[in-house]
Amino acid sequence: MKYYAPKGLYDITPEEVDLWQLVEEKVREEMDRYRYREIRTPLMEKTEVFARGVGEETEVVSKQMYTFEDKGGRSITLRPEGTASVVRAYLEHKMYGREELSKLYYLGPMFRYETPQKGRSRQFHQYGAEAIGSSDPALDAELIELSISILEALKVEEVGVKLNSIGCSEDREEYVDQLRSFLEPKRAKLCSDCQKRLEANPLRILDCKEESCSRLIAEAPRITDYLCSECEEHFEGVRNYLDRVDLDYELNPRLVRGLDYYARTVFEVFSADLGAQDALLGGGRYDGLIELLGGDPIPAAGFAAGIERLILLLQERDGLSTDGKLDLYLATLDQETKEKGFELLRRLRKSGINAELDYLDKSLQGQLGYADRFGADYTAILGPRELKEGKITIRDMESGEQQLLELGDLEGSLAEILEKDGQ
Ligand code: HAM
């Protein structure tokens, strides 16, 4: 009998994990720099948190949630996204009582029951930032800029930013009426999903990928023409801050995003290299969500990025080594030198040097073959004679140069050599 991971769920193997660690490291560095602090919420929440927070009518809630009853008869859902959970935690821990603005970030798995394809899986990973407590347009701009800054730190620069404002709920109400009256007479030309959306959530029609729908939408009224003066001013503010830092964006009045909590700013960063699932990250302002989940009306904004999609881009790029680094491969010749080698290895590793020896009882030639395969910077052979003399010869695998070092302070001399190499 053979076992496979459930459909749409994937292992991250050691061959790929270096890139994951690199992404995590850069995310943490940048989040730190922008003063976002990490929050870790449970992988599951009471179903209502998402049903209310994300919205019953959204695809995520109505079709994609992993919901089950626990042994106590409670309805529990594996988190399909991070924002609602973070807001739940923000309220539960009364963070608003300690600080006026909470800047939080997270990194971890999310679960959506979707049809797997390139860039889309059922367990996927996000990093995200949420800033709760301010409606300042500079904060929207900071979040967009932060999202780009993380990509830049990873040298992912060929991306586009789509920006829109979907106004406040009153603006949207008026706009949705207009949109409905525009689309109603053309109902028959919409795809079957959009025909249903026309009643439940006409905004969703705006980002339908079906050609017949997008053709109609191109002529539909634009949401940005229905913004009230405060929302218009806010949107102008966001654009102004982005212009100040020369961040390029493309205004896209059709961008509405798939989750119900958004108000005013929405944005997405995409990469043409990703194919159909081209959104690397998305986010926006969600001023109504905190109240919806039982708090005061506190404004907030955030974004989240899909790590798998980012990894796809990083994998396509040259020059990023995904092999573990190995400073020294130590070959030994018999039991006595192996024992000494084992001792040396601990000392080397303790002083921060990546070192390896043979655990497979290989011949000397076999060991050197391994050193080659692992891409060791240096190799050394510890034979009975070297052991007796308390010295060892290390060989620079690139230049072929050899140096004789004392076994007594191998870690010290090697560290010096490696440091010089690194300069
Ligand atoms: P979202 O657009 O649903 O937003 O997801 C954000 C990103 O997660 C997407 O752009 C994509 O890269 C990735 N993603 C989503 N679903 C999948 C999937 N099935 N497989 C692989 N990657 C996926 C949110 O989740 C919001 N919570 C973002 C936010 C934070 N808004 C405000 N704060």
Residue 96 Cα, ligand 1 centroid: separation in angstroms? 26
Index of the ligand 1 atom closest to the CA of residue 80: 25
Burial category of 171 from C-beta neighbours within 10 Å (exposed 0-12, middle 13-18, buried 19 and up): buried
Ligand 1 binding pocket, CB closer than 6 Å: 81-83, 112, 114, 119-121, 124, 126, 128, 130, 258-259, 279-284, 286, 302-306, 308-309
Q: What pLDDT, in 10s, does the model give residues 350-391?
A: 999 999 999 999 999 999 999 999 999 999 999 999 999 999
- Structure confidence at residue 323 (pLDDT): 58
Structure tokens at 256: 């509405």
Residue nearest to atom 10 of ligand 1 (CA): 281
Taking the centre of ligand 1 as the mean of its atom positions, its distance from the CA of residue 368, in whole angstroms, is: 46
How far apart are alpha carbons 52 and 63 in whole angstroms?
15
pLDDT at 29: 97
Whole-angstrom distance, CA of residue 55 vs CA of residue 209: 21
Global pTM value: 0.90
CA-proximal residue: ligand 1, atom 18 (nearest): 120
What tokens does 330 get?
A: 């130590």
In this prediction, residue 57 has a pLDDT band, given cuts at 50, 70 and 90, of confident
CB neighbour list of residue 167: distance below 8 Å, 6 or more residues apart: 175, 223, 226, 227, 228, 231, 263, 264
- Over residues 107-118, mean pLDDT: 97
Do 330 and 344 touch, CB atoms closer than 8 A?
A: yes
Mean pLDDT for the stretch of residues 300-321: 87
Measured in Å, residue 340 CA sits from the centre of ligand 1 at 52
Single out the residue of 57, 54, 37 nearest to residue 45, CA to CA: 54
| Mean pLDDT across the chain | 95
Dist. CA 353 → ligand 1 center (Å): 39
Whether pLDDT at 89 is above 70: yes
Distance 307 CA to ligand 1 centre (A): 10
pLDDT at 320: 54
Whole-number Å distance, alpha carbon 367 to ligand 1 midpoint, is: 46
Percent pLDDT > 70 in the chain is 98
- Walk me through the domains of the chain, giving residue ranges and CATH numbers: 14-168+228-315 (3.30.930.10), 328-417 (3.40.50.800)
Query: Which pLDDT tens digit goes with each residue over 323-341?
Result: 568 999 999 999 999 999 9
φ, ψ (nearest 5 deg) of residue 66? -90, 95
Q: What separation in Å is there between the alpha carbon of 84 and the centre of ligand 1? A: 13
Q: Which atom of ligand 1 is nearest to the CA of 112?
A: 19
Query: Which tokens belong to 29?
Result: 């560095």
Name beta bridge partners: 380: 330, 394
Pocket test for ligand 1, best of 124, 142, 204, 308 (most atoms within 8 A of CB): 124
CA 83 – CA 100 distance, rounded (Å): 18
Residue 297 tokens read as 């009306």
* Local confidence band at 318 (pLDDT 50, 70, 90 cut-offs): low
Q: Ligand 1, residues 309, 310, 312: which to mutate, most atoms within 8 A of Cβ?
A: 309
Task: Quote the tokens at residue 268.
Answer: 């997405």
- Whole-angstrom distance, CA of residue 415 vs CA of residue 362: 27
Pick the atom of ligand 1 nearest to 119's CA. Answer: 21
Please give the distance, rounded to the nearest whole angstrom, from the Cα atom of residue 276 to the centre of ligand 1.
15
The answer to whether 357 and 330 have CB atoms below 8 angstroms apart is yes
For residue 128, the ligand 1 atom closest to its alpha carbon is 30
Q: Please give the Cα distance from 107 to 137 (Å, whole number).
A: 25
CA separation for the pair 148, 420 (Å, rounded): 34
Q: Measured in angstroms, how far is the CA atom of residue 274 from the centroid of ligand 1?
A: 15
What is the residue with the minimal CA distance to atom 17 of ligand 1?
Answer: 120
pLDDT tens digit sequence for 270-290: 999 998 889 999 999 999 999
